[in-house]
Structure 1
Amino acid sequence: MMNDRIARPLAEALSAKGYETLTAVQEAVLTPEAEGRDLLVSAQTGSGKTVAFGLSIAPDVLQGSDLLLFADRPVALVIAPTRELAQQVAREFGWLYEPAEARIATCVGGMDYRTERRALSAGAHIVVGTPGRLRDHIERGSLDLTGVRAVVLDEADEMLDLGFAEDLEFILSAAPAERRTLMFSATVPADIEKLAQTFQTDALRLQTQGEARQHADIEYRALNVASRDRDHAIFNVLRYYEAERAIIFCKTRVAVNHLLARLGNRGFNVVALSGELSQQERMHALQALRDGRARVCIATDVAARGIDLPGLELVIHADLPANSETLLHRSGRTGRAGSKGVSVLIVPPAEFRKAHRLLQGAKVVAEWAKAPSAEEVAERDAVRLMEDAALTEAPSDEDAALAAELVARHGADRVAAAFLKLWRIGRAAPEELSDTTTPAAPAAPRPKTDFGPAVWFTLSVGHTGRAEARWLLPKICDAGGITRTSIGAIRVQQDETFVQISAPVAAQFAASTELEPGLTLRRMEGEPDLNAPPRGRPREERTERKPYAPRPPRPEGEDSRPPRDESAREDRPRKPYPKRDESERKPYTKREDSERKPYVKREDAERKPYAKREDTERKPYPKRDGETRAPYAARPDGDRKPRGEAAEAPRKPYVKRDEGNGRPAPKGAYGDRKPYAKRDDAPSKPWAKPDRATPKPYARKDAAPAAEGDEPRKPRWKTKADAGPDARPQRAGAGDGNGKPPFKSAGFKSHGGKPGQSRSAGMKSHGKPDTPRRPPADASDTSKRFVPPKRPKG
């Protein structure tokens, strides 16, 4: 039966969805006390919290109307810690507010920002998003929260754990102050209460029955396995339960990728869900679980909050969670909406105590056992095989005819064996595990027993003296010759320690026993008051310091303080210290034993002020021998005298000499020479650039004489005929007969010659090498004159 306070459009959506009754948390938010108030709701995971706050904010969203019109600004905001949870809330709100034609917009990280901005600008009544992306939209101006009437914080404790406190403050500061703020969480620790005081006003605390009875529909099993069999135990657990959908939780992404590869190699249909995946990949993984394409999901704690996987039957904790709250949130993925589920903890020997602490903190009882062995998995498979729907359902006429033909042709045994093989396809073989013994539960704390009659002693040391029971116990035993069984309680206080010693052996201690220098044990009368403040200064004075007050002025006099008692120090009597009058203090004087006189300023030490002197008033620098040095003046070169012995002889001025051929006189030649003078009979012509445009033709010896005044041009080549009849025969490469050396390249291998030959010697075009060339018979005959051949190119 539905609640009468549900709005009509939402009641129609619940009826169409198949809701007949509401859960405890849904009934709690619809009470008259919760109407219009801020709510702090705690309920177990899977109790219908999403529909609960959807029903709670309906009056603020609908405003008494059954059909919503266009909204330029959102009227409700839902903040979720993870992307998957935000999208799940949007899906739930989609069918819940569909009769009211409400528009839902999502703002989550990893999705296209432009698509979200277009959805917001088109008008959205309810916005669902994660803190980071919502803040981004607000800063960019695409999300306006000035019209928001209700804000919902889903899984608020998880948002604090993920570090979204600053983002939440920024988002809520952009919303109006008169809004409603609803906080939903599975647990309400101290941080959530502090957050509620910051963001909420006069919030109503709602605690449903599900929180007091945590996960009654979940069966907890703790499996003790060897460290090397951790992966094999997970394989056998999956095979033993054969769950339609299972989820495995790991601590890190590396562990997720490791198990993903191992399970994939075993033939399991598995997907991964971790923070390193993109939003599109995570959505595809969840969709594969929902439509049955994958049966196992390996995830980190990011997926532990708010993800609703329909039909999830098994949760495996491959790595133990960090705290009890995370254990409850992980396990809460199964056993939802009244269905049953199993939560399995894989516990290596090193983490046995940690598992016990987690279970005690979560207030759940787990069944400790070994991991399923290969034999147990085989037995479970045999039971499932016998109960398979293919064997229990009646076959159709066509199937019965085909089955009869198979049996007639192959026999019943072979048909049954073939069915068994086909049934095992896709199911991994179980693994063999090491034999391990289930450790016993931690021993309960030993109950306190009555020590019997005892005598209390006090020690003159406490916390200030860094006293410890393990340090005092052997000293007390050695001083009285007793054992530690005769010593009861040892209570270390601030400045002293109380020790309880059995009455039969207390007589072995004197009223005051010195255990060591500075450590004394004294008998007490009766029992000490352990709740009494420490001795010495009262506790009130230690915690509450009096305000500072200035001292009253002392009376005037030579010595206003009382005289000191000199009886205690007769060996060094001292006089009272006389107070000096600062006004009558004498100036400082040197001691009499010092021969040094105090500094007195001399009268003759008066100096005139500094005045810059002119160069004319500068006095010459006096020499050491007393001679007066003349001031420096620039001297002509002729007046310069040499130093040393040469200074006595007169020295003539230097004059540049010329011997007539343009060369300077040899060094050291000092004669009676005339100074150099430029000749008047050799006038020099100004230099003129020659005209290269019309070069002169080459003039041969037999050519006509040049014009008068022009110097004849020398021939380019000289021959033996030009050298004269007395010249010796000339060899190729030996020069030209006039003393000129051969070419530098004579004898190069590339020219085919030998050392000492000319560059052209040895070439075929020049004839044979080492052959002298004859001049023409008549040297005067110019027609037969030798003309050198042209050089070959290259």
Structure 2
Amino acid sequence: MSLPETIVAPLARALAAKGYENLTEVQSAVLTDDAQGQDLLVSAQTGSGKTVAFGMAIAPTLLEGEELFSSQGAPLALIIAPTRELALQVQRELDWLYAETGAKTASCVGGMDMRTERRALERGAQIVVGTPGRLRDHITKGVLDTSALRAVVLDEADEMLDLGFREDLEFILDAAPAERRTLLFSATVPRQIANLAKTFQKDALRIAATNASSQHADIDYKLVLIPAAERENAIINTLLFFDSANTIVFASTREGVKHLSARLHNRGFDVVTLSGELSQAERTNALQSMRDGRARICVATDVAARGIDLPNLDLVIHADMPTNPDTLLHRSGRTGRAGRKGTCVLIVPMHRRNAVQRVLKMAKLDVSYMAAPTSTDIEARYRESILNDASLSQAPSEEEAAFVAELMALHTPEAIAAAYLRQQIAARPSPEELSENMAPDKPGPSNPREKARFETGVWFRVSVGRKHRAEPRWLLPMICKAGGVTKTAIGSIRIFDAESHFEVATPKADVFAAAIAQNGSGERGVTISVIEGDSPPSNKRTFPKSPRRPEGPIERYDPMAARPERADRAARYAPDNRRPDSDDARPERAARIETKRPDTDRARPAKVNPKDKGKPKWKDKVQPAAPGEPRPKKEKVFKKKDHKPKRKPQL
């Protein structure tokens, strides 16, 4: 199929040289007659060729019927992207697309040297690509002249609004001429994008390149349910199983990116990181390492990997599931781009299963369940790749023939093949051990934290107890790892002072016993052994029961009878033997008290109310009123004060 004739001739030749035979849906939509010269509001999924689409859409406006640009004065087109990586990627795409037109492009992105960007703008560039903040800085300083702009393109407009660039976008669009074309490209069109289009576009043509049902049709989604403690092991096995040329592993935080990349690097993977804390030079080197094959795995955050396009990116792994369906679609859109097939694997802990199901339902994605790759699956994949190695079908060259003959003379073909096999296996990372399949159709308890109930089980003993600060939260993982079973196979755990007992389901008891006999407990100084006989006693503390009350009447307790030695002391304090206290019994005491009593005829002093303490007394100035007469008032005496004028200070 040939390219449409509506494409400008220099761009058509560049597309043909690049190998374009068919255009994507969004690329064909912007070339229709209705879209010629109009403002466009385009929604298309990531990886649908939007950069080439708006490059072809603005070409007639920039060239005005010519095939070459006539001068290199003020910029004619301004492309705004949310991130530095996306802006530089757009510049690379437009460089080869406009190569035959003689167009010069310049980038203005944060983190780069502003003096270099200023010199590029002063030399002249028809197309300028940049991020909102840096473009605003150049416009404010008078370095970027926007008076001759004919087209302004906002790529990933929804992401720019989410990142808080609305004020910068409004400033840039206000600085551009009123007679211009404004093209908005976005994966989704929320209310904010619609309001922005109404404000800065004129009768924009709405183009929806894809619908929700066909979104990400080239991506195969796989859901892997695993225990939370085995998340990193599942990621490693997934990387080994698919063995993709390039892979992106998404984490939610910068700390998660650093931790996961360090773990993968220690396991022998070629890993680079991409997060907001890296400098622009470090991020550029990381992406270049992925493009030239020095690294095969990139661990990134959401914003840092927004819009980037890596060659041969066939696998996307969600190490941390997002809570937003739009974020999930943007992450997954790094693969399955421009007609290529891709795989997206979602590593989900069991306790996050319901939340992930809600996100997938909102994103309207069809997901198939997949068991986490085990060591057996990965070893089978290793054998398959070794047998299908293309180098085995190539005949030896003349230079290699002599040495091959020498090898065949010294060693048998079986020995040479065995040496080759050992070399290939040693060069590949070894897989991690995982628990049994956690697929939803496998029978098990509905609540993953609920332990299975056993009718019969085998009891084992572990040599740690209360004095070793043993707790079920670290005993259970150690037991499962030592016996090669999951926590659903472990029943009751009873902790004693010097040891602990735990129950293993009868179907798993033989496997557990064989594993600990071969490998031990896996911890230094800790032993695990089977308990012979009946089940061990409970670890609950018991107290002796109080004796039962004898039958019959209860006799009253007599303390004197119980302690005869106190009988004499009790007799001394009997009521008849006490010392009399009354005055009749002691006449001399009554006479002594009578002499000290005051005269009852003498007037006693008036009592003073405690509340009246501290109040002034006016008895000497105001006489009390007679009965029936009003109380006389106290005369107030006013003293005349001498008001002397203040003396002015002498200057």
Q: TM-score, normalised by structure 1?
A: 0.55
- Taking the aligned partners of 2:347 and 2:253, their CA distance within structure 1 comes to 16
Equivalent position SS for 1:257: helix
Residue number in structure 1 paired with 2:225: 224
Q: What's the C-alpha RMSD, in Å, of the aligned pairs?
A: 2.6
- Which residue is equivalent to 2:371? 370
Q: For 1:364 and 1:16, how far apart are their aligned partners in 2?
A: 36
Determine the structure 2 residue equivalent to 1:40. Answer: 41
> Which deviations, in whole Å up to 9, do the C-alpha atoms of 1:178-214 show, x marking residues without a partner?
2111011112222222222222221111011365401
Code of the residue aligned with 1:339 in structure 2: it is R
Encode CA deviations 1:257-286: one digit per residue, 9 max, x unaligned.
111111111111111111111111111111
Aligned residue number for residue 562 of structure 2: none
Q: Cα 1:176–1:163, aligned 2, differ >3 Å: closer, same or farther?
A: same
CA distance in 2, matches of 1:141, 1:221: 51
| C-alpha contact (below 8 Å) 1:44/1:210 kept by paired residues | no
Other-structure match for 2:251: 250
Counterpart residue number, 2:135 = 134
Residue type of the partner of 1:278? S
1:419 paired residue number: 420
Aligned to 2:110: 109
1:96 aligns with 2:97: yes
The farther-off stretch of 319-328 and 395-404 is 395-404
Equivalent residue, structure 1, for 2:180: 179
Matching residue of 2:458:
none
Q: Unaligned stretches of 5+ in structure 2?
A: 443-629, 632-637, 646-651
Q: 1:189 to 1:612 in 2, by over 3 A?
A: closer
The CA deviation at 1:612 is: 6.8
Separation of aligned partners in 2, 1:222 and 1:191: 33
Alignment match, 2:266? 265
Say whether residues 1:326 and 2:327 are aligned partners.
Answer: yes
**Does structure 1 retain, via aligned residues, the 8 Å contact 2:78–2:153?**
yes
Cα offset, 1:424, TM superposition:
2.7
Deviation at 1:370, TM superposition (A): 1.9
User: In the alignment, which residue of structure 2 is the partner of 1:20?
Assistant: 21
* Distance in 2 between residues matched to 1:72 and 1:202, nearest whole Å: 30
1:562 aligned partner:
none
User: What one-letter code is carried by the residue in structure 2 that aligns with 1:186?
Assistant: A
The question of whether the paired residues in 2 share the 8 Å contact of 1:312 and 1:334 is answered with yes
Letter in 1 for 2:60: P
1:611 to partner: Cα distance = 9.0
Task: State the distance in 1 between where 2:24 and 2:137 align.
Answer: 36
CA contact (8 A) 1:43 1:211 kept: no
Matches of 2:249 and 2:200, distance apart in 1: 36
Cα contact 1:224–1:371 (8 A) shared by 2: yes
Give secondary structure in 1 for the equivalent of 2:304: helix
Match for residue 479 of structure 1?
none
Given that 2:213 and 2:364 are in contact with CA atoms closer than 8 Å, whether structure 1 keeps it comes out as no
Q: Hey, what does 1:166 align to over in structure 2?
A: 167
Deviates more, 1:243-252 or 1:405-414: 405-414
Partner of 1:405: 406
Map 1:113-512; keep pairs closer than 5 Å: 113-209=114-210, 212-439=213-440
CA distance in 2, matches of 1:608, 1:59: 103
Matching residue of 1:526: none
Paired amino acid for 2:236: F
- C-alpha distance after superposition, 1:219-246 (max 9, x if no partner): 1001001111111111100100110111
Separation in 2, partners of 1:608, 1:234: 100
Give the distance between the partners of 2:641 and 2:342, measured in 1 at CA. Answer: 107
After superposition, give the CA deviation of every residue in 1:65-94 in whole Å (9 maximum; x if it has no partner). Answer: 211132321111000001010000000110
* Alpha-carbon contact 2:225-2:372 (below 8 Å) kept: yes
Counterpart of 2:85 in structure 1 is 84
SS of 2:331 mapped into structure 1: helix
Distance 1:35 1:179, change over 3 A: same
State the distance in 1 between where 2:640 and 2:423 align: 125
Report SS of the residue matched to 1:54.
helix
State the secondary structure of the residue aligned to 2:184. Answer: strand
Cα deviation for residue 610 of structure 1 reads 9.4
Distance 1:371 1:22 in 2: 38
Shift of 1:369: 2.3
Distance 2:404 2:248 in 1: 39
Distance 2:642 2:406 in 1: 138
Give 1:56 deviation, angstroms.
0.6
The amino acid across from 2:14 in the alignment is A
Higher helix proportion (structure 1 or 2): 2
Distance in 1 (alpha carbons) for counterparts of 2:110 and 2:81: 12
Do the aligned residues in 2 keep the contact of 1:44 with 1:211 (CA within 8 Å)?
Answer: no
Q: Is this contact kept in 1: 2:372–2:437, CA < 8 A? A: no
Between stretches 265-274 and 12-21, larger displacement belongs to 12-21
- Kindly provide the CA deviation profile for residues 545-575 of structure 1, in whole angstroms up to 9, marking residues without a partner as x: xxxxxxxxxxxxxxxxxxxxxxxxxxxxxxx
CA-CA distance at 1:425 after TM superposition: 4.1
User: How far did residue 317 of structure 1 move?
Assistant: 0.3
Q: Return the alpha-carbon distance in structure 2 between the equivalents of residues 157 and 276 of structure 1.
A: 23
How many angstroms apart in 2 are the aligned matches of 1:190 and 1:69? 40
Question: C-alpha distance in 2, partners of 1:267/1:611?
Answer: 100
In the TM superposition, what are the counterparts of 1:772-783 in structure 2 within 5 Å?
none
Q: Which has the higher contact order (CA 8 A, sep 6+)?
A: 2
How many residues align? The count is 457
C-alpha spacing 1:422/1:74, structure 2 compared with 1 (3 Å): same
In 2, Cα distance between the equivalents of 1:373 and 1:207? 42
In structure 2, what residue type is equivalent to 1:134? L
- Secondary structure of the residue that 1:414 maps to in structure 2? helix
The CA deviation string for residues 678-737 of structure 1, in whole angstroms up to 9 with x for no partner, is xxxxxxxxxxxxxxxxxxxxxxxxxxxxxxxxxxxxxxxxxxxxxxxxxxxxxxxxxxxx
Q: Which runs of 4+ in 1 moved over 4 A?
A: 607-613
- Partner SS for 2:154: strand
- Structure 2: distance between partners of 1:424 and 1:125: 54
Indicate how the Cα distance of structure 1 residues 72 and 211 shifts in structure 2: closer, same or farther if over 3 A, else same. farther
Which amino acid letter does the alignment assign opposite residue 155 of structure 1? E
- Letter of the 2:376 partner, please give it: E
- Separation in 1, partners of 2:44, 2:144: 31
What percent of counterpart residues are identical?
A: 59
Corresponding position of 1:30:
31
How many Å separate the matches in 1 of 2:41 and 2:350?
40
Residue type of the alignment partner of 2:138: H
Query: Offset of 1:153 from its aligned partner?
Result: 0.4
Contact kept? 1:181, 1:200, Cα under 8 Å: yes
1:609 to partner: Cα distance? 14
Letter in 1 for 2:142: G
Whichever residue aligns with residue 73 of structure 2, its letter is D
104-113 vs 299-308, which deviates more? 299-308
For 2:123 and 2:213, locate their aligned partners in 1 and report how far apart those are by CA, in whole Å: 44
Is residue 223–residue 371 contact of structure 1 (8 Å, CA) maintained in 2? yes
SS in 1 for 2:370: strand
Partners of 1:351 and 1:195 lie apart in 2 by 37
Provide closer, same or farther for how the CA distance between residues 610 and 321 of structure 1 changes in structure 2, counting only shifts above 3 A: same
